[in-house]
């Protein structure tokens, strides 16, 4: 935006939303005293909000949301008595919420307190701290209030809501707040939406929800609530569009009739509880997202309505085959399902060949079941697929060429199965967008195709526990995602549906430091390469050290030869490296001692020799990291000779003889010193000895002078 603009002071409406503006808020905008509506939403505007905003005496609506504004909330905003809607959400504002109203008491400033205008206040997704002020209850006509996704803390009581008789929408999830009200409390409002996920609400179920006759959206997730859900609440949910009861400790069965509500249900999240029972055919007509993962549901998989976008039944006890869900469908139409998560159940049988009914899938996870057989050919229709996870089943056969049509794939995890054959070249040529490729613990064999180097976006490569042969491709330096530094603020891999609801965050299993770890929230930062327990030979290519963003590396249990590349010290973020049980030779490069991030190292059982480089990190590891080599120096108990070699028996005998000789010279020096200073002391303190000594020196000098003259004459 220009820093100066003429002839705008009479403007009543200024809307520059959803552009690419990256300046600060210009001062001329604060001089528009007739301005009634200001919208700068969805830009990259930075800086602070000036106190000069108090000049906008006619303003009724301010929308500065979704920018990168920072600093504390301008407390003069409380003086805008005509302000009806204020949206500052999605910025970097900080400080306490009290400061917005220029008051640390329980009273708002006179201008705002006497106002009958403020109906909407949106402050979500900032860095606001402190407590929720009781003085907010003086905003008597407040209709919508959104303070979600901040870091507020403290206790919220009945007095906070005393005057909010007009409140219809209350959004305050993801704060560290505690709701402390009586079980007999009757709120003064009739709300449509109450979202207070991550509040401390329990352990008792909030009975006051029974008084809300018009409610359509409820989020009481992660609230520490225990016990059964009351029957009256299940009946009340017939009017719901959104319900989130996840991450509590609910028990008992969900009523059978609940699954067939003829309501406007859009999103249902009952995940991460202890619900039990079977899930029958789901015929709720409008439901778009159903999350039932991490419970104790059992029985066969249910059939689902055609318009469902997301289904998560993972980590339960569902059994039987997949055909009931996937194939017994309405064959006259395609289903809209985007996300299907069935991992962690007791499903068995073959994967059915009827994927032509599910062309919109973007996430498919069937991992950790008892599935057998191969990957069906009809999966070639899944051209929108981004994530494919079949980990930990008993699947067999080669990688089918049908997967070559899934060119949008970002993740393939087929680990811990019984797949066989060579890796096809199309894996690197057709699936060039892959970020995660995990094929460990199968029966793959043959040489690694050079086409694997086409996967420039690859961050996790796991080929461990197979029968690969040949050398490590020299072209691995083409894996540029392990070289380039990520931009700050890059989000993790998340998949969003077209509906409003929670996103699905990608996860990946990585074996490092001798343990298995699951990464999700920090997945975007993980870079790993695991080729352990194969039959690879040859040396570690020098190009390997160009992977300067690699964090975890495991080449152990192969037949690698040659030396450890000297450039390994350039891999500054390396946290774990395992080269054990190979045939590597030579010395450990001195540069490895500069890896300050290194927390796991295993070079054991190779043919390495010489002195272990001295560095804070290396000496902190145990002897097991270096055993089975010809190494010396700490942390081993083998001393090195001056040449940095391990002393043998003969050398040790010579050194013992040299020690005895050293003691001889030491004793002789001490004796000479005592004799010398003894004579000097006598000369110093005994006059007659001193005179005789001086006469002796004079006679010696005269004799020497005569001899010199004779030699000069001759």
Q: What is the CATH number of the domain that holds 518?
A: 3.80.10.10
- Model pLDDT, residue 666: 57
684 lies in a domain? Answer: no
In the numeric block, the tokens 């070079």 are attached to: 603
Query: Of 164, 93, 161, 165, whose CA–CA distance to 130 is shortest?
Result: 93
Interval 421-430: pLDDT, tens: 999 999 999 9
Distances (CA, A) of 379 to 59, 353, 374, 393, 403: 57, 8, 11, 18, 7
Query: Of 607, 627, 339, 367, whose CA–CA distance to 496 is shortest?
Result: 339
442 lies in a domain? Answer: yes
E strands present in 24-148: 37-39, 46-47, 61-63, 68-72, 85-87, 92-96, 120-122, 127-129, 144-146
450 lies in a domain? Answer: yes
**pLDDT cut 90: percent of the chain above it:** 62
Cβ-based neighbours of 583, under 8 Å, separated by 6 or more: 559, 560, 561, 606, 607
Residue 264 contacts residue 241 (beta carbons within 8 Å): yes
The SS3 of residue 685 is helix
Mean pLDDT, rounded, for 527-553: 95
Cα 496 to the center of its chain, rounded Å: 18
DSSP run (H or E) holding 200: none
Cβ-based neighbours of 91, under 8 Å, separated by 6 or more: 64, 65, 66, 67, 68, 69, 70, 125, 126
Radius of gyration (Cα) for the chain, nearest Å?
Answer: 38
169 lies in a domain? Answer: no
- Model pLDDT, residue 332: 65
What number of other Cβ atoms are within 10 A of residue 318's Cβ?
A: 23
Helix axes 687-713, 649-685, angle to 10 degrees: 110
Dihedral over alpha carbons 624, 625, 631, 633 (to 10 degrees): -90
615 lies in a domain? Answer: yes
Domain with 604, as residue range(s), is 438-643
CA distance linking residue 401 with residue 353, whole number of Å: 15
Residue 135 has pLDDT above 60, yes or no: yes
Residue 392 has pLDDT above 90, yes or no: yes
Query: Of 208, 244, 250, whose CA–CA distance to 229 is shortest?
Result: 250
Mean pLDDT (the chain, rounded):
86
Mean pLDDT, rounded, for 353-358: 90
Residue 141 has pLDDT above 80, yes or no: yes
- Model pLDDT, residue 691: 59
pTM of the model: 0.83
502 lies in a domain? Answer: yes
Query: Of 342, 349, 343, 407, whose CA–CA distance to 376 is shortest?
Result: 349
CA distance linking residue 270 with residue 291, whole number of Å: 6
143 lies in a domain? Answer: no
Query: Based on the structure, what is the number of domains in the chain?
Result: 1
Interval 40-70: pLDDT, tens: 999 999 999 988 888 888 999 999 999 999 9
560 lies in a domain? Answer: yes
């Amino acid at each position: 935006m220009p820093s100066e603009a003429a002839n705008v002071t009479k403007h009543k409406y200024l809307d520059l939303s959803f552009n690419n503006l990256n300046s600060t808020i210009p001062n001329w905008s604060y001089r528009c005293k007739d301005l009634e509506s200001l919208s700068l939403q969805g830009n990259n505007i930075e800086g602070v909000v000036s106190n000069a905003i108090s000049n906008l005496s006619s303003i009724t609506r301010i929308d500065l949301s979704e920018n990168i504004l920072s600093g504390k909330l301008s407390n003069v905003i409380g003086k805008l008595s005509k302000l009806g809607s204020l949206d500052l959400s999605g910025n970097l504002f900080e400080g306490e919420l009290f400061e917005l109203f220029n008051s640390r008491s329980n009273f708002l400033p006179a201008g705002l307190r006497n106002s009958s205008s403020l109906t909407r206040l949106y402050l979500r997704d900032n860095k606001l701290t402190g407590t929720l002020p009781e003085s907010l209850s003086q905003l008597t006509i407040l209709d919508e209030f959104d303070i979600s996704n901040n870091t507020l803390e403290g206790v919220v009581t009945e007095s906070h809501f005393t005057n909010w008789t007009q409140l219809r929408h209350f959004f305050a999830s993801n704060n560290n707040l505690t709701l402390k009200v009586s079980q007999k409390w009757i709120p003064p409002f009739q709300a449509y939406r109450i979202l207070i996920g991550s509040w401390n609400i329990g352990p008792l179920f909030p009975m006051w929800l029974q008084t809300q006759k018009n409610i359509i959206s409820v989020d009481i997730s992660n609230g520490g609530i225990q016990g059964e859900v009351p029957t009256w609440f299940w009946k009340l949910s017939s009017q719901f569009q959104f319900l989130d009861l996840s991450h509590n400790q609910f028990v008992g069965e969900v009523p059978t009739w609940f699954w067939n509500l003829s309501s406007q249900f859009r999103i249902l999240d009952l995940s991460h509880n202890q619900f039990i029972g079977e899930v029958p055919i789901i015929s709720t007509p409008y439901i778009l997202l159903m999350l039932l993962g991490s419970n104790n549901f059992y029985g066969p998989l249910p059939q689902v309505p055609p318009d469902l976008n997301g289904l998560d039944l993972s980590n339960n006890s569902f059994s039987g085959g997949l055909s009931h869900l996937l194939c017994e469908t309405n064959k006259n139409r395609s289903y809209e399902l985007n996300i299907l998560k069935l991992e962690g159940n007791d499903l068995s049988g073959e994967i059915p060949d009827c994927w032509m009914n599910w062309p919109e899938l973007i996430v498919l996870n069937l991992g950790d079941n008892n599935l057998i057989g191969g990957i069906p050919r009809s999966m070639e229709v899944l051209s929108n697929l981004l994530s494919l996870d079949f980990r930990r089943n008993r699947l067999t056969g080669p990688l089918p060429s049908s997967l070559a049509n899934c060119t949008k794939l970002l993740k393939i995890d087929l680990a811990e199965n019984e797949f066989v054959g060579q890796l096809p070249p199309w894996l690197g040529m057709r699936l060039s967008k892959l970020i995660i490729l995990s094929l460990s613990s199968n029966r793959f064999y043959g040489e690694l195709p050079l086409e694997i180097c086409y996967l420039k976006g690859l961050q996790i490569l796991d080929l461990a526990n197979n029968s690969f042969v040949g050398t490590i491709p020299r072209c691995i330096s083409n894996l540029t995602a392990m070289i380039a530094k990520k931009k700050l603020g890059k989000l993790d891999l998340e998949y969003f549906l077209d509906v409003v609801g929670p996103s699905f965050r990608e996860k990946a299993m990585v074996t490092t430091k001798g343990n298995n770890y699951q990464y999700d929230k920090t997945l975007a930062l993980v870079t790993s390469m695991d080729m352990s327990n194969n039959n690879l030979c040859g040396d570690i290519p020098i190009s390997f050290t160009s992977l300067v963003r690699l964090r975890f590396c495991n080449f152990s249990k192969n037949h690698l030869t040659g030396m450890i590349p000297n450039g390994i010290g350039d891999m500054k973020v390396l946290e774990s490296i395992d080269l054990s049980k190979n045939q590597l030779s030579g010395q450990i490069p001195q540069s490895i001692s500069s890896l300050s991030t290194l927390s796991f190292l295993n070079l054991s059982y190779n043919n390495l020799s010489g002195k272990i480089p001295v560095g804070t990190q290396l000496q902190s590891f145990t002897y097991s990291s270096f055993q089975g080599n010809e190494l010396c120096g700490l942390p081993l108990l083998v001393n090195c000779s001056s040449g940095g070699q391990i002393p043998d028996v003969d050398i040790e005998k010579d050194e013992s003889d040299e020690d005895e000789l050293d003691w001889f010279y030491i004793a002789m020096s001490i004796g000479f010193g005592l004799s010398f200073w003894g004579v000097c002391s006598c000369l110093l303190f005994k006059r007659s000895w001193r005179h005789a000594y001086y006469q002796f020196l004079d006679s010696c000098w005269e004799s020497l002078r005569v001899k010199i003259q004779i030699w000069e004459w001759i």
